[in-house]
A and B are shown apart, each in its own frame.
Chain A
Amino acid sequence: MAENFEQHSDVSAADLARLTQEAQAEATPSTAKIIWSEFKADKPAMAALFIIVGFILFVMIGALFINTPKMMETNIMGYFNQPFTPEYWLGADSGGRSVAKQLIVGSRNSIGIAIGLTLISSTFGICWGLISGYFNGYIDWGMQRVYDFMMMLPMTMMIIVLVTIIPHYNSVTLTLIFSIFYWEGTSRLIRSRTLAESEKDYVAASRTSGTSHWKIIFREIMPNISSLIIVDCTLSFAENIGVETGLSYLGFGLPSQTPSLGTMIANANDPNNITQYWWTWLPAALEIIILCLSISYVGQVLRRAADASQRQGAAD
């Protein structure tokens, strides 16, 4: 290629170097750079980002220092201990178990499952959407029918039924069960973008020059919609926190001996707890609200960064 170029071009090497330099200076900045300048322009978003990263690191590391089985042991002396005491910062529940410690371990479990679920379901949804959108025709038709069928299933009910069928489950099996049902949103979004992208000239050019389908899909179309993928993953992460905690709240997620934000909120099912012993459930509820709002806020900023007409960051 390079030899060919030298033979047929009258641009000198020095000129070529200068032109390349100029082109690089004028080229669109990298995605990471755009996102960073977007965050710098939006102080609340920066705060939200720090809250999320700091909090996730805190619970991940903090949970390592907590002995979960020992923490979950009943301690009659601490029965509904008041909050804000030196021993129990956030009080204790009916078994005298420290709410603060449960909150840390519970957050670790809930966030961990949400991350796992986002990774698995998004990967699957992205592949599904790319393939379905790229191969228009029978493949797309068949995949769309499967999608329609999945959309018809009452998701929460199906998950609960599957959880009761499986005799011994842990957080990994739980994540896999959730993943069966939570890829549809991503796949639909990616498919519609891929359909539009497949019409473009670069795909047609690539196809005529004989590039393989897989290479076009994963090396050419996917990088072009990467900003959409980043935004979607962030937003589904916020949503997925609600998925696991919701089912644990109903009693069909993590077992009661494994603390989760959802099982902690389930303390509120007892009319006594909900008013008298509010500290057993309210911190977990507030934590979910703050986490979901911050993550989605970051998602909004990423969406702005992906859409050049909405950017607020500096133009340079």
Chain B
Amino acid sequence: MWKTILRRFLIMIPEVIILSILVFLLAKAMPGDPFTGSINPKADPQQIHHLMKINGLYDPWYQQYWNWVVHLFHGNLGNSYQYQEPVTRLIGGRAANTLWLAFFTMILTYAFALPMGVFAGRHEGKLPDTIIRVYTYVTYCIPFFVILVIGIWIFGYVFGWFPTTGSISAEASGGGWLQTIGSRFYHILLPGILGALFGTVNIVQYLRSEVIDAKGSDYVRTARSKGVPSKDIYRHHIFRNSLLPIAAFAGYSITGLLNGSIFTETVFSYPGMGLLFVNSISYRDYTVITALVLIYGILNLIGTLLSDIILSIVDPRIRIE
């Protein structure tokens, strides 16, 4: 068991190194340099030249890469020249927003998907199963950003039930902590619900087939023959057995949500990392871009790792030999 986890960690190290090199080279290839923002009619070209020299921008790329990595380990990701602020602080402020939204969406997804999966499996082939199958099929096919746009149109603008922009309202940001939390929660409600309603398909399908398999198994037959009520069999025996593999989906689900955050945050003008990325691209703010791509890559890796570890605990067959 521990061997598997250790192996997975060892494989991760070269992946992170290659990712960082790739991200660094891509950032180098992007037009502009860190001093483009400070070019103005008063700036002396000689001065900028000098600045670039002492900042090592004329060094060979591996030298620059090495400096960048050393700074990285000191927690220094450079300055954003759109906001004139250290990148770590800038992203630190946005990351909480994105992670809250992702966390909330995930909890809702499980809250919707678990009962649906068990219900569909229990009534296999009957009307509820068909309805749930059609529902998962429809939600799976439609591109998510279209749903977000239509959702914000109907519930945000036409009915006016939900805020359409920002992460906190102007009045609440000056108020007490209860008001702050309330307003923040209100702002992630609609994107969270939409994300959860349209992200259940994997969990529902997995749980459904798991329940159908379990229905014919020996332990269920034993429970039935000793007179356990049908409701309890589903709740305590079957559901509990499939809980761990379902929990393993959490890791994959987090990576999916993070990748979707670019769309969610753009549609809802929600100030998280995804929106920061889109804005930084338009301003060519490449210190922020590199940092964000690196963070998302590492978060993806951790999410997948988490799922793989849980799955390898559940299912000994997939452990790396």
Contact = CB atoms under 8 A, between A and B. Distances in A.
Interface of A: 145, 148-149, 151-158, 160-162, 164-165, 167, 238, 241-242, 245-246, 249-252, 265, 268-269, 271, 274-275, 278, 281-282, 285, 288-289, 292-293, 295-296, 300
Contacts of A265: 145-146, 149
B143 A245 contact: yes
Q: Is the interface of A mostly helix, strand, loop or mixed?
A: helix
Given A155-B259, A160-B281, A245-B143, 4 more contacts: A148-B15, A153-B19, A165-B29, A292-B143
B316 to A, nearest CB: 19
Closest 3 pairs between A and B when the two form their complex, measured CB to CB:
A242-B143, A154-B296, A296-B141
B150 A296 contact: no
Q: Is the interface of B mostly helix, strand, loop or mixed?
A: helix
B277 interface: yes
27 contacts: A149-B19, A152-B301, A153-B19, A153-B300, A154-B296, A154-B300, A155-B259, A157-B296, A160-B277, A161-B289, A162-B26, A164-B31, A242-B144, A245-B145, A246-B144, A246-B145, A246-B263, A265-B146, A271-B164, A274-B152, A281-B149, A282-B153, A288-B143, A288-B146, A289-B142, A296-B137, A300-B137
B141 A238 contact: yes
Contact of B149 (A162, A238, A242, A268): A268
Contacts of A269: 266
Contacts of A282: 153
B292 interface: yes
Interface of B: 11, 15, 18-19, 26, 29-31, 137-138, 140-146, 149-150, 152-153, 157-158, 164, 258-259, 262-263, 266, 277-278, 281-282, 284, 289, 292-293, 296-297, 300-301, 304
Contacts of B289: 161
A161 B266 contact: no
Contacts of A162: 26
Contacts of B18: 149
A151 B304 contact: yes
A274 B297 contact: no
Contacts of B284: 164
A251 B278 CA distance: 9
Contact of B297 (A153, A268, A275): A153
A250 B301 contact: no
B142 A292 contact: yes
B178 to A, nearest CB: 29
Contacts of B297: 152-154
Contacts of B266: 250, 269
Given A245-B143, A296-B137, A268 B293 contact: no
Given A149-B18, A265-B149, A275-B153, A161 B143 contact: no
A131 B138 CA distance: 34
B277 A157 contact: yes
A245 to B, nearest CB: 6
A152 B302 CA distance: 9
Contacts of A252: 281
Contacts of B137: 296, 300
Contacts of A275: 153, 157-158
Given A157-B293, A246-B143, A285-B146, A152 B19 contact: yes
A152 B150 CA distance: 30
Contact of A157 (B157, B262, B282): B262
Contact of A164 (B141, B144, B281, B301): B281
Contacts of A278: 153
A27 B318 CA distance: 39
A167 B19 CA distance: 23
B143 A241 contact: yes
B5 to A, nearest CB: 16
Contacts of B301: 152
A106 to B, nearest CB: 14
A289 B30 contact: no
A293 B296 contact: no
Given A148-B15, A285-B150, A156 B143 contact: no
Contacts of A158: 26, 293
A155 B263 CA distance: 13
A158 B282 CA distance: 15
Contacts of A295: 141
Residue with the highest number of chain B CB atoms closer than 10 Å, among A161, A165, A242: A161
Given A149-B18, A154-B258, A164-B281, A293 B300 contact: no
Contacts of B152: 274
A288 B146 CA distance: 8
A89 B216 CA distance: 58
A167 B266 CA distance: 24
B251 to A, nearest CB: 12
